[in-house]
């Protein structure tokens, strides 16, 4: 076990805790806020929180104009679609059950990297994917009387 592995595990646990805390906080304290306000604030503060990373993460090359075009397409189209689906899920199944769906994104990202980018898939990643999917099934398959 290396230091970078331990740091990655700690960051993963912290992000999971933050997502769970955030969904419950939003459900309890931000019910009156509109989805546009919440989304705008999430993007703004997410950008501000990651801005200091520019000082420590090397940029491989100066972005080309087409890179900014791709970024704009991803930001406008994909983020808009994602948040429309996300807030519909929140309205229909609730914040806690919706946040469980977000954990499946990790599995999809790993599979996409394996299929499209030729990255290797380890046994531990497979077990992790199974654990995530089982957790989502357990969370989403609960009867309404337990919620």
Rounded to an integer, the average pLDDT of 107-133 is 91
Give me the pLDDT at residue 13, please: 92
Please state, in angstroms and rounded to a whole number, the distance separating the CA atoms of residues 20 and 78: 23
Give me the pLDDT at residue 93, please: 82
Name the maximum alpha-carbon separation found in the chain: 55
**Cβ burial, residue 66 (10 Å; 0-12/13-18/19+):** exposed
**Cβ burial, residue 72 (10 Å; 0-12/13-18/19+):** exposed
Rounded to an integer, the average pLDDT of 39-54 is 87
Please say whether the beta carbons of 95 and 23 come within 8 A. yes
pLDDT, tens only, 24-34:
888 788 888 88
Q: List the domain boundaries for the chain.
A: 1-30, 33-93, 94-146
Report helix, strand and coil shares of the chain as percent, to nearest 5: 80, 0, 20
Model-level pTM greater than 0.85? no
Rounded to an integer, the average pLDDT of 57-70 is 88
Please say whether the beta carbons of 106 and 136 come within 8 A. no
The fraction of the chain above a pLDDT of 90, given in percent, is 24
């Amino acid at each position: 076990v290396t230091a970078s592995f331990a740091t990655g595990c700690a960051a993963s646990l912290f992000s999971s805790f933050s997502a769970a805390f955030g969904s419950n906080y939003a459900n309890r304290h931000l019910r009156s806020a509109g989805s546009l306000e919440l989304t705008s604030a999430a993007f703004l503060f997410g950008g501000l929180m990651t801005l200091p990373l520019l000082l420590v993460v090397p940029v491989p090359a100066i972005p080309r104009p087409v890179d900014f075009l791709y970024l704009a397409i991803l930001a406008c189209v994909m983020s808009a679609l994602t948040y429309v689906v996300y807030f519909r899920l929140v309205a229909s199944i609730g914040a806690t059950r919706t946040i469980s769906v977000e954990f499946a994104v990790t599995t999809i990202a790993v599979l996409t990297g394996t299929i499209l980018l030729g990255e290797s898939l380890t046994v531990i990643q497979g077990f992790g994917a199974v654990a995530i999917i089982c957790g989502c099934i357990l969370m989403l398959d609960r009867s309404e009387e337990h919620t």
